[in-house]
Structures are given as C-alpha cells and as structure tokens.
Amino acid sequence: MTKEVGINEKLLKEHPYNKEFLKEPFHEKTNLLILGAGMGGRLVLREIKKKDDHNVVGFVDDNPRFIGEKIHGIKVYGPISTLPEILKKLKTQKKEIKEVIIAMPSADGIVIKKIIRLISQKIPKISILPTAYEDPFSIKTGLVVPEKIRKVKVEDFFRRKPMLLPFDEILSHYQGKRILITGAGGSIGSELVRQLTIFSPEHLILLDNSEFSLYTIQMELSEKDEIKKTFLLADLRDKEKIKKIISKFNPEIIFHAAAYKHVPLLEENPEESINNNIAGFCNLMHSLNDNVKEFILISTDKAVDPSSIMGMSKRICELILQSKSRKINSKLLAVRFGNVACSSGSVIPLFEKQIEKGGPVTITDIQMKRFFMTIPEAAQLVLQTPILGDTGDILILEMGNQCFLFELAEDMIRLKGFIPNKDIPIKITCTRKGEKMEERLFGDKEKIEPTRNKRISIIKTNYVDDKKLSLLLSKLFNASKQNDIESIKEIFKKEMSQVNTS
C-alpha cells in the first residue's frame, strides 16, 4: 500500500521537472508476526531489522515461559492454537497482520499443517524458515540460516526434526572418494549429488539418460569448481558402455537411483520394467570391479508384497542384490522408502497442476493413503545407510504415519488460499491397475533391527533361491525380447512368490 507525501504547489510551478521526484511514493512497512520465539525466531528478527521493510508486531509461541514477555521490546503472544483470536485482536488495535513467518526449524509437519489450517484464509503471505535437511550450511554447522526464508510449500507438511549422524563421521566416509550416481538428474539423484558436494568427494560421476535432466544439474553445479565432475549421457541398458564407464572412472561408491517409477505407465508397458529397471540393474551388477567398495540400490516400499509391475521389478532387484552380495567383495545395500514429496513420480505435482487450473483435484479412492517424506530428508538418510548397514542388508527409512491423499488434497488447496470443495472441487475417480490402498515398508516375514539412527532400520539378509531367481530372470528376459506383454504379466504375478525369500 502506498500514499503520496504532501506536494509543495509553489515548488512545482517553479520547477516542474521536479514533479515526478516529489511524487515518489512512501512505502508503509508490512505488519509481520513471527511464529516461534526461540533461537530461530530471534535470528529471523535480526535479519528483518537489517532490511527495515517490515514492522514486527509480535512473536507467537507455545512456551508458557515466553508468553506475555518481550523479546527486544516485542511482545510474545500465545499459544499458537489461539492464532485466529490473536490476529483478530491485533486488527482491532489497527495492527492488521499481512505476513507471517514460521520460525520453528525443529517443528514437524503436523504443526505446520495445523498452522496453515488456522491462518491460510486470513494471511496473504506465509513464509517459513527451512530445516537443517534443506540447506548444506545447516547440515554442516547445525545452524539455521535466516536468509533462506521462503514461502511455505507442501513438502513442509512432511518435514521432521533432523536426525543426522555426526557430520565428521559422514564427512570421513565420502571425503576424497570417487562417487557415481545413476539417475543423477532425477529427483533423488540430483539431491544426492547436492548433498554429496558438502562432503568434499574427489570426483562426482553423474550419469543419466535424459539430456535435459543432466544439463539441468550440470548448470546448477557449474560454480562448484573445487569438486571434479563428469557428466555422462548414457543408458544403463547399454551393457558394454556401462562396463567401460565403470572400468574407466573406477568409482569407489555407486548410488543407483535410476529407474522407471510410475506405476500405471509400467502396468501398460511391463517390458520396460524389465529392460530398464531389471536389465539395467543387472548390467551395473555385472560391471562391478574390486575398486567398487559400496553399491547402494534405491528401492521402494512398493517392493513389499508387490501388487504392481513396478514394485515387482524393484523387488527382483533387491533379490538380485542379496544373491550377488554373497559372491563379491563389494558391500551391496538396498534402501527402501516411500513416496518422496514433489519428486517426478509423486502425486503432489499432479495435484498442484489441477489446483492451478481450478480443479477438480482427482483422487482414486477416498481411503487411499501413502507414506511421504521430503527429498532432502530422504537423500540425507540414504547417505547414512552405507555407514550403518552390512552387505546384503535392506535398509528402510522410517516414514512416519501414512497420509490420506484426500486430506493432502484439502491441505494443498488451503495452502493456495482456497476452500476445498467450494473454490476447488475434489473428485473421486477409481483405483488404477497395480495401486494399493496403502503401502508397507517391510513384509510379515522380514525381521527388523534398529541402527544408531532411529530413522533407519535394517532388514537382515534372508535366503534367496538362486536357481529359481535365475529361472525367473531367464523367462522375463525371453518374454521381453519377444515383446510378449501378456506373458510378462503372467510371469511376474505367478512366479514372483516362488523366488521370494523365506
């Protein structure tokens, strides 16, 4: 909002060329409320004072010790559950709040979601201080950086208090190492790359079959001259090329993030789950040499009692890895986790596009629910798994409670300032092939053991029938060569259970 200062009419007549300068608008400061009166809130206040374009009306906190007190002369209101009443009271005092900053970096997604539900219809702008998972500086120092304040995103509904191994322990594991990342331009692969740059590797080898994805991460890393980087446009299905790459660059650690992940598409194109997910993985396995000390397969919760072609293909990769782990010196691990918010295969980008168009937001079943975690948290936990696991282990990331997709859609609509089923309709369609109503991170027969990080558990190696696994692979590859889609589906669904561990 702007208003014009008073104009000296005599001066305008005498010096008309000064008119535009004299009419320069005066900008009123935006009334701001900071949620969180702890260290995060105080850092935010200090940053705001530097810019001098906001009027901090108050803090809001749940801590009774803070409520009613003043911090640097600014009153602390509370608790947070009374935000609507606080906003109403301030408005009557002619201190209407136009912006809120959530400065609670350790608050989990449940708290963030409650705040959005309380104020999304009342406040034009809601910003947030990121968690330590998101920012390389914070991962390294444990300090939040107020300059990183950004708008609230749907990923914040799934955030949790960071739980990291000591930084020096992770640093010593990756520092000075040659590291290959497949699918390096994808959602998980690119975040692994970003976080690995914190730990001073000797050489990052980034491989992807998407030119655009590889180019994008190349441009992002262009200023990190201190780390040697090689960008390889290659397809894992090219067995000879992959073997030459491994031989030439001699990576000590490999993160295998490349895969087709879209459940309905692979139901319609099951041969590609074999050609890309399984055959590409086998090509990597056959290319390993003694220089590869660790290999980490990025798996999925859909590999547990799989009902989809995609889930079955990833479960087969887990079994191949467990079988191979008994025969070579490299440490082979798989990491299994659920949906990653805003990844390329997530439902969240679809919901966002539907909301932008005015709806409807489509959900296949009102009872359908999924695990979600943020991309930075998933990547940071993945980087800790080779420190915690032994060869042949499947590690699982603790995902918290599953989220109903219907409630997620409602919260995303509120986050945009709309009212669900009034401004933006939600439409229930029908379940698609291969979809489950809910996911699981481990099967009934799988035994879980804890690790030093409470968010990471281990499924110890079970028995794999190598002969049955080899026969299954032979049948799948033959059916794929003949492009016999019906046979592929039949083999997946009828013979998978015979190969599963017992």
CATH architecture of 30-152: 3-Layer(aba) Sandwich (3.40)
Looking at residue 127, what is its pLDDT? 92
N-term to C-term CA, the chain: 68
DSSP 8-class letter at 277: I
**With contact defined as beta carbons under 8 Å apart, do 120 and 414 qualify?**
yes
Q: Name which of 189, 233, 193, 192 is nearest 211 in CA terms.
A: 233
Residues 6+ apart with CB under 8 A from 94: none
Pairing state of beta strands 99-102 and 30-35? Answer: parallel
pLDDT of 100 over the 70 cut: yes
Compute the Cα dihedral for 239, 245, 248, 250 and give only its sign. negative
Q: Where are the domains of the chain?
A: 30-152, 167-499
**Residues 403, 161 contacting (CB under 8 angstroms):** no
What's the pLDDT band for 346 if we cut at 50, 70, 90? confident
The answer for residues whose C-beta is within 8 angstroms of residue 459's C-beta and 6 or more apart is 336, 393, 394, 395, 396, 442, 446, 447, 448, 449
pLDDT value, residue 2: 34
CB 353 within 8 A of CB 422: no
Q: Is the torsion defined by CA of 371, 373, 379, 384 positive or negative?
A: negative
Question: How confident is the model at residue 440, as a pLDDT?
Answer: 81
Q: Say whether 302 is catalytic.
A: yes
- To 5 degrees, how large is the angle CA 402–CA 403–CA 408? 165
The b-or-e profile of 429-446 (16+ CB within 10 A means b, else e) is eeeeebbbeebbbbeeeb
pLDDT at 6: 36
Average pLDDT, the chain: 87
Angle in degrees, CA 395, 371, 61, rounded to 5: 110
**281 pLDDT tier (thresholds 50, 70, 90):** very high
pLDDT band at 24 (very low <50, low <70, confident <90, very high): very low
Residue 114 half-sphere exposure toward CB, CA atoms < 13 A:
11
| Catalytic, out of 113, 153, 229, 302 | 302
| Domain 167-499 in CATH 3.40.50.720 | yes
Q: What confidence score (pLDDT) does residue 470 get?
A: 92
Query: Which tops the pLDDT comparison, 226 or 241?
Result: 241
Paired strand residues for 71: 74
pLDDT top residue among 223 and 331: 331
Distance between CA 286 and CA 255 in Å, rounded?
15
Nearest in space to 150 (alpha carbons), one of 97, 98, 102 = 102
Residues contacting residue 449 through CB under 8 Å, at least 6 positions apart: 457, 458, 459, 460
User: Who's near 315: CB < 8 A, 6+ residues apart?
Assistant: 303, 304, 306, 496, 500
> How confident is the model over 359-369, as pLDDT tens digits?
999 998 999 88
pLDDT at position 176: 97
Candidate from 1-5, 71-75, 98-102 with smallest mean pLDDT: 1-5
pLDDT score for 399: 80
- The model's confidence at residue 26, banded by pLDDT at 50, 70 and 90, is very low
Is the pLDDT reported for residue 326 higher than 50? Answer: yes
Q: Which of 384, 403, 432 is nearest to 167 (CA)?
A: 384
φ/ψ region of 89 (left if φ > 0, alpha if ψ in -120 to 50, else beta) reads alpha
Residues 6 or more apart whose Cβ sits within 8 Å of residue 482: none
Cβ-based burial of 217 (10 A; exposed 0-12, middle 13-18, buried ≥19)? buried
φ, ψ of residue 231 in degrees (nearest 5): -110, 120
Instruction: Let me know if the fold of 30-152 is the same as that of 167-499.
Output: yes
pLDDT digits (tens, 9 = 90+) for 448-491: 999 999 889 998 766 788 899 999 999 999 999 988 888 998 89
